[in-house]
Chains A and B, each alone.
Chain A
C-alpha cells in the first residue's frame, strides 16, 4: 500500500509492491493492538539497548538530585565543582554497584557459593514475572489487555493456599493439587472476563481492573473470617502457613531460596511458545488478535476464542500467585501476596513484545531489578521505587524507537 506510515521500519520481508494502490482508504488500523504490537516488535536490539541505557540514565539523575551529599555540594557547585561531581558519581556508582551485587554476584564476599546467591534471588523473583508476563502476553496476542493480574493472582493464591494448609496429603500429590486448584481459580477469574467480553461486549480493560478490586476485597473478607481463611485464633488477615507437603521444593538446596517455581516458569515458556506458534488454537488466537472480522468470516468463533484465551491467561497469571504462596512466601495467604507482580507483568509482556522468549528475557531483567532494588535500598538507602521508574521508562522508550533514534542519532531503518 502506498499510504505511508511513519513506522520505524518496514518489515524486512516487505516486497516492493508491484503497483501502488492509492484507492485504499487511509483509515488507520482499527485494531490498535495490532499496530501497537507491531510497533514494539519492530524495535531492534539497538533500540532495546539504548532504551535501557536512557532509562538508567534518567534513574541516575533522580538518584543524584535526591542524594543529600549531592545537594549539599550543589550549593557551592561553582566554587568547587569537583565536589559536586564526585558526590554525584559516588551516589550513582554506589547505587548501580549495589544493584549488581544484589542481583548477579556479590563481589564483597569471598565464598563463591554466597557470592552467587543474588543470581538465584534474581531467578526466584523472575519466575512469577515470567509466568504472569506470559499470561498477559498471550492475551495481547488476541488483542486483549489483561490488567487483571492482581485479581487473578489473589484468587489463585488464595485457592492454592487453602489447599496447601487445609489438607493432609503426601508430598507430590498435595503440591500438584494445590498448583492445579490455584491455576484453575486464576483461570476462572480470567475466564469470567472473557465470558463478559464475548457475551456482552464489556471492555476487558474496565472489567479486569474492577475484578482486581473485587478479588482484593473478597480475599480480604475471607482472611478476616474465622470460618473462612483466617488462621484460627488470629486477629490478623492471614491464613495458616503452608504444610510442608504443599510447598514448592527448593531447587538448589536450603542454602538458596530458588524453588521449583522457576522450573515451572521455563516449562510455561515452552508451552506458550508451542501454543502460539505450532498449535491450531494459537493460530486462531493470532488471527482473532490481528483481525477479528476476518477471523469471524473464516468460521472462527471470536467470542469463544476470547474466553479460551482469558482462561489460559488467567491460569498463567494464577500460576504466579501459586508461585508466591507455595514457594516464595509460604507463611500463609495474605492480601498483598501479589506483590505488584500483576502490574509488573504488563511491562514484562510489553518489553518481551508478547513473545515467549522475549518475555523470558524481560522477566529475567526485571527479576534482577527487583532483587537488586532491595539490596540497593538496604545498602545505599535508595528507595526501591526507583526500579518502578526505570522499568516503566524502559517500556515507554522501547515502544517509541523514533524517539530513541533521534536522541542517540541512530540511523533510521530506511537509511540503512
Chain B
C-alpha cells in the first residue's frame, strides 16, 4: 500500500465515526458437555437395560393434601427423556453454529431431563421418594451452604478461605462439647465461636503476616484435624457421656408453609438450623450487595488500593469480614453434631469444606449461586443414599464419586475462566511502614 502523504496535511472532520464491531465468541463447551452426558445415558440404557416400572412418590407422611404417586414404565420413559436430552444437545449445537450463547433455561431443561431419565432407569422396579430425596438433599447440603457462604464472604473481601473445612470441623467439635454441657443453642453459639477462632488464626497469618492464604488455609485444616483428633482421644472419648453426647435439634414444621404439597415437606419441615440457613443466605446477599458494609467488602476484594485511597482500612475490613465468614462456616459444623450424628468423631466432616470451596467457585463468588451449587452437591450425595436403599444397579462408589466428578466437569467446563474478585488471594500491604 502507498504510504506517502502530502505535507502539511490539514485535518478535516472525520467522514465517519469509527465504531468497531462486536463479535460474539461462543463456547462449544456446553454443547460438548450435553453430548457426552446424553451419550452416557444412552449407553447406560443399552448396556444395562432395566426391567419394570419406576414410581415417583410425591407425598410425605402427614400431608394435608396428598399428591398421587406417579408410576411410569421404566425403559420407554428413560428413552423418551434421553431423546429430550438429545434434542437439547441438538439445540445447543445449532446455537453454537449460529454463534449464539446457550441460554440458562436450556441448561436447566437438560439437567432436569437427564436427571429424571437417570432416576427412571436407576430406580426401575422401585419407588423414588421425591420428598425424601430433595428434602434430604437440603439437609445434607446445610454444612456445605454455610461453608460456601463463609467462603464467598472471605473471597469477596480478597481472602481465600481454604480453611472452611477446619472451621466446619472445629465448629462440629465445639458444638458437640458445649452442646453436651449446656444444650443445643449453646452448642450452636460455640460452633460460631470455633469458626471465628479458626478465622482469626487465618487472619493473623494471612492478613497481618502476609503468609500465603492458600497455604495458611491448608495448614490450618491439618492443624484442626490434629487438634480435634487429639482432644477427641484425650478428652471427649474418655468422658463421652458428659462431653460427647449433645442433644439434637429436631425437625420443626412451620405451620401453613409446611402444608404446601411437595414444597412444604421439602423446605418447611426441617430443623431450626435449616431455617437459620435461609435467613443467613438472604442476609449475606443483602448486606453484600445493598449495604455500605458490603460495598466496602467488595471494594477491598476488587481493588484494595482504591479502597485505601478513600480512607477505608483495607486489612481491618478484611479481618472483620473473615471473622464473620468464619462464624458462619462454623455454624455449618454444628449440623454434624447437633443434627446429623449426636456425637463428635475424628475428621467427621470428611473434607466437606473442600466441596464448599468448590461450590464457591462453581457459584462464581455469588452467595445465591454458591448456595445453589452447594445444594447440587448435597443432592448428589443424598442421591447415592436413596439409590442404595432402592437397590440401584450403579456401584455405590460411583455414586459417591459423582459430586466430585461433577465439580471437575464444572470447573473445567462451565466456569473454567470465570472472574474471581480481582484481588482475591493477594495480601495488601499499605504504603506506610
Q: Are A and B direct contacts in the complex by CB distance below 8 Å?
A: yes
A203 to B410, CA, bound (A): 11
Which segment, of A75-83, A97-105, A343-351, faces chain B?
A343-351
Which segment, of A181-189, A210-218, A252-260, faces chain B?
A210-218
Residues of A within 8 A of B212 (CB): 32-33, 35-36, 39, 399
Residues of A within 8 A of B233 (CB): 383, 385
Q: Are A217 and B397 also in contact (CB < 8 A) when A30-B426, A207-B408, A400-B211 are?
A: yes
A385 to B347, CA, bound (A): 11
- In the complex, what's the smallest C-beta–C-beta distance from A31 to chain B, in angstroms? 9
Among candidates A5, A66, A196, A396, residue contacting B223 with C-beta atoms closer than 8 Å: A396
Closest partner residue, chain A, to B201 (CB atom): A396
- In the complex, what's the smallest C-beta–C-beta distance from B26 to chain A, in angstroms? 16
- In the complex, what's the smallest C-beta–C-beta distance from A103 to chain B, in angstroms? 18
Which segment, of B38-46, B252-260, B262-270, B398-406, faces chain A?
B398-406
Residues of A within 8 A of B216 (CB): 396, 399
A145 to B354, CA, bound (A): 14
- In the complex, what's the smallest C-beta–C-beta distance from A93 to chain B, in angstroms? 18
Which segment, of B65-73, B170-178, B224-232, faces chain A?
B224-232
Is B341 an interface residue when CB atoms closer than 8 A count as contact?
Answer: no
Residues of B within 8 A of A200 (CB): 411-413, 416-417
- In the complex, what's the smallest C-beta–C-beta distance from A215 to chain B, in angstroms? 9
By the criterion CB–CB under 8 Å, are A389 and B223 in contact? Answer: yes
Closest partner residue, chain B, to A192 (CB atom): B408
Q: Are A203 and B226 also in contact (CB < 8 A) when A395-B219, A400-B211 are?
A: no
Residues of B within 8 A of A20 (CB): none
By the criterion CB–CB under 8 Å, are B205 and A396 in contact? Answer: yes
Which residues 1-49 in A have Cβ within 8 Å of B in the complex? 3-6, 26-30, 32-33, 35-36, 39
By the criterion CB–CB under 8 Å, are A221 and B433 in contact? Answer: no
Residues of A within 8 A of B234 (CB): 66, 382-383
By the criterion CB–CB under 8 Å, are A210 and B425 in contact? Answer: no
A324 to B324, CA, bound (A): 42
Is B361 an interface residue when CB atoms closer than 8 A count as contact?
Answer: yes
A390 to B399, CA, bound (A): 37
By the criterion CB–CB under 8 Å, are A399 and B205 in contact? Answer: yes
Residues of B within 8 A of A145 (CB): 214
- In the complex, what's the smallest C-beta–C-beta distance from A190 to chain B, in angstroms? 14
- In the complex, what's the smallest C-beta–C-beta distance from B132 to chain A, in angstroms? 24
Is A275 an interface residue when CB atoms closer than 8 A count as contact?
Answer: no
Residues of B within 8 A of A402 (CB): 209
Among candidates B211, B395, B405, B417, residue contacting A399 with C-beta atoms closer than 8 Å: B211
Residues of A within 8 A of B429 (CB): 4-6, 28
* From A39, A66, A206, A395, residue with most partner B Cβ within 10 Å: A206
Is B215 an interface residue when CB atoms closer than 8 A count as contact?
Answer: yes
Is A224 an interface residue when CB atoms closer than 8 A count as contact?
Answer: yes
Residues of A within 8 A of B395 (CB): 221, 224
Is A205 an interface residue when CB atoms closer than 8 A count as contact?
Answer: yes
By the criterion CB–CB under 8 Å, are A386 and B211 in contact? Answer: no
Among candidates B211, B412, B426, B428, residue contacting A202 with C-beta atoms closer than 8 Å: B412
- In the complex, what's the smallest C-beta–C-beta distance from A233 to chain B, in angstroms? 20
By the criterion CB–CB under 8 Å, are B229 and A32 in contact? Answer: no
By the criterion CB–CB under 8 Å, are B407 and A210 in contact? Answer: yes
Among candidates B211, B305, B400, B417, residue contacting A27 with C-beta atoms closer than 8 Å: B305
A40 to B408, CA, bound (A): 31
By the criterion CB–CB under 8 Å, are B223 and A388 in contact? Answer: yes
Q: Are A32 and B425 also in contact (CB < 8 A) when A201-B416, A221-B397 are?
A: yes
A209 to B162, CA, bound (A): 11
Is A291 an interface residue when CB atoms closer than 8 A count as contact?
Answer: no
Residues of A within 8 A of B220 (CB): 392, 396
Is A403 an interface residue when CB atoms closer than 8 A count as contact?
Answer: yes
Closest partner residue, chain B, to A25 (CB atom): B305
- In the complex, what's the smallest C-beta–C-beta distance from A213 to chain B, in angstroms? 4
By the criterion CB–CB under 8 Å, are A202 and B427 in contact? Answer: no
By the criterion CB–CB under 8 Å, are A196 and B222 in contact? Answer: no
Is B75 an interface residue when CB atoms closer than 8 A count as contact?
Answer: no
A62 to B220, CA, bound (A): 17
A233 to B212, CA, bound (A): 50
Among candidates A382, A383, A391, residue contacting B222 with C-beta atoms closer than 8 Å: A391
A399 to B214, CA, bound (A): 12
Q: Are A214 and B219 also in contact (CB < 8 A) when A6-B429, A200-B416, A220-B397 are?
A: no
Closest partner residue, chain B, to A29 (CB atom): B426
Residues of B within 8 A of A382 (CB): 234
Chain A proximity mask over B29-47: 1 for CB below 8 Å, otherwise 0 = 0000000000000000000
By the criterion CB–CB under 8 Å, are A210 and B416 in contact? Answer: no
Residues of B within 8 A of A308 (CB): none
Is B210 an interface residue when CB atoms closer than 8 A count as contact?
Answer: yes
- In the complex, what's the smallest C-beta–C-beta distance from A107 to chain B, in angstroms? 26
Residues of A within 8 A of B357 (CB): 206, 209
Chain A proximity mask over B412-433: 1 for CB below 8 Å, otherwise 0 = 1100110000010111110101
25 residue pairs bridging A and B, Cβ less than 8 Å apart:
A4-B431, A6-B210, A32-B214, A33-B212, A36-B212, A39-B212, A62-B230, A203-B411, A206-B411, A207-B408, A209-B354, A214-B401, A217-B397, A221-B398, A347-B219, A386-B226, A386-B230, A391-B222, A392-B220, A396-B205, A396-B219, A396-B223, A400-B205, A402-B209, A403-B209
Known: A28-B426, A385-B230, A388-B230. 5 other contacts (CB 8 A): A6-B433, A33-B212, A36-B212, A388-B223, A395-B219
Residues on A lying within 8 angstroms of B by beta carbon are 3-6, 26-30, 32-33, 35-36, 39, 62, 66, 145, 147, 196, 199-203, 205-207, 209-211, 213-214, 217-218, 220-221, 224, 343, 346-347, 350, 382-383, 385-389, 391-393, 395-396, 399-400, 402-403
The 7 A-B residue pairs with the shortest CB-CB distance in the complex, in nearest-first order: A388-B226, A36-B212, A400-B209, A66-B234, A385-B229, A221-B397, A383-B233
